[in-house]
Amino acid sequence: MKILCAGGGTLGSVTPLLAVIDELRHSPEPVEVYWFGTSAGPERKLVESYKINFMVLSAGKIRRYWSIQNFSDLGRIILGFFEALAWLVNNKVDIVLTAGSFVAVPVGWAAWLWGIPVLIHQQDVRPGLANKLLAPIAARITVSLKESLNDFSATKTILTGNPVRNIFEKINKNQARTNLGLEQDMFTLAVLGGGTGAEFFNHLLISALPKFNDQIQIIHLTGMGKKNSDNFSPHYRVLDFTTDTSNILAAADLVVTRAGMGVLTELATLSKAAIVVPIPHTHQEDNASLLEKNKAAKILNQLSLTPDNFVATVSQLLADDKHRAEFGKNLHNLFPPQPAVSFVKEIYKLIKKS
């Protein structure tokens, strides 16, 4: 079986597809995987760590607002379409998989033109523009949440949940802390801004560090090239990027994160309590609203968040075992079980039809 994946720019469109590849590689049929991604995104290192053939595609960001860059990016999108089409002419694949990302749009349309089935996955509550542009030509659309079923054609949309890499099912808190060189008996806070980091988190945490007591150890993922000094506190560990966040998430008693569906479903697998700070005025606010409605995380508004109330919220939750356990349980129950298995079944159905 030959599969082409397309995604990048951030890791949100990458990790669900890697989870699917994990599952496919456990099947008896050999699988050969290719990947189209971006030149500057954080995805290349992670994808290649899975022994996947990574290729850079010309791609432009699709903006819904006025920007002079829309003109040059339109040219890159067109160029990317012809690059993908030329590659597909010379490399026959059975199916194309995407989970959003602007790099997937030219690949998906090129595959459709060449008669190759395209499966797109909608992670977030609000449909992304890339998936809206691919939906008309998609052979199948999978969604993470039942709330998204009505956003696409009923005849080709199915609820699978959001696939999570199987590494998250194999690790426990004590082993993760050993792997990271952390103290076993200290409350542990993890702060993650995603593969590209979050400047707001980075500045917030540095301002907040002196306000935490010595009973808390903190591990901070800043984003590539954004690493802070780790000399602020003996219990402060900082990384700029890693291809494996499983240790960080598993080691934590509490996680501070954005509202990207990739990390949220990884936390759900681990039944972890989270403080979620969505990026203002984006689709992440819809994800956060769903979590808040289901009491599945503590939601904070970035526009009113200060170091003082951040420290107060973290300290309150770290002292409340019952509340953290409730958040973790509700988050876990929000998503359908065995999403990668369901996703792979849809792949086989499409390949048999084509």
- At 140-189, the pLDDT tens digits run 999 999 999 999 999 999 999 999 999 998 889 999 999 999 999 999 99
CATH number of 167-333: 3.40.50.2000
Count of CB atoms situated within 10 Å of the CB of 199: 12
Parallel/antiparallel/unpaired status of strands 236-239 and 216-221: parallel
User: What does DSSP assign to residue 212?
Assistant: S
Mean of the pLDDT values across residues 34-60?
A: 92
Residue 259: both structure tokens together = 């509202």
Q: What residues form DSSP beta bridges with 140?
A: 119
Mean of the pLDDT values across residues 17-21?
A: 97
In the CATH scheme, what architecture does the domain 2-162+336-353 have?
A: 3-Layer(aba) Sandwich (3.40)
E strands, the chain, are 2-6, 32-37, 53-56, 95-98, 118-122, 140-143, 157-159, 187-192, 216-221, 236-239, 254-257, 274-276, 298-299
Q: Residues of CATH 3.40.50.2000 domain(s) within the chain?
A: 2-162+336-353, 167-333
Q: How far apart are CA 11 and CA 121, in angstroms?
A: 14
Summary mean pLDDT of the chain: 91
Q: How far apart are CA 77 and CA 257, in angstroms?
A: 31
Look at residues 265, 285, 277 and name the one whose alpha carbon lies nearest to residue 332: 265
Percent of the chain clearing pLDDT 90 (strictly above): 76
Mean of the pLDDT values across residues 339-354?
A: 91
Which residues lie closer than 8 Å to 270 by C-beta, 6 or more apart? 168, 249, 250, 328
Asked whether residue 63 carries a pLDDT value surpassing 80, the answer given is no
Asked whether residue 195 carries a pLDDT value surpassing 80, the answer given is no
**pTM for the whole structure:** 0.90
Q: Is 191 exposed, middle or buried (0-12, 13-18, 19+ CB in 10 A)?
A: buried
Mean of the pLDDT values across residues 86-95?
A: 96
Confidence class of residue 23 from pLDDT cuts 50, 70 and 90?
very high
Angle between helices 307-318 and 199-208 in degrees, nearest 10? 80
Q: According to the model, what pLDDT value does residue 134 have? A: 97
Q: According to the model, what pLDDT value does residue 292 have? A: 98
Q: How far apart are CA 69 and CA 12, in angstroms?
A: 23
> Which one has a higher pLDDT value, 226 or 45?
45
Mean of the pLDDT values across residues 189-203?
A: 82
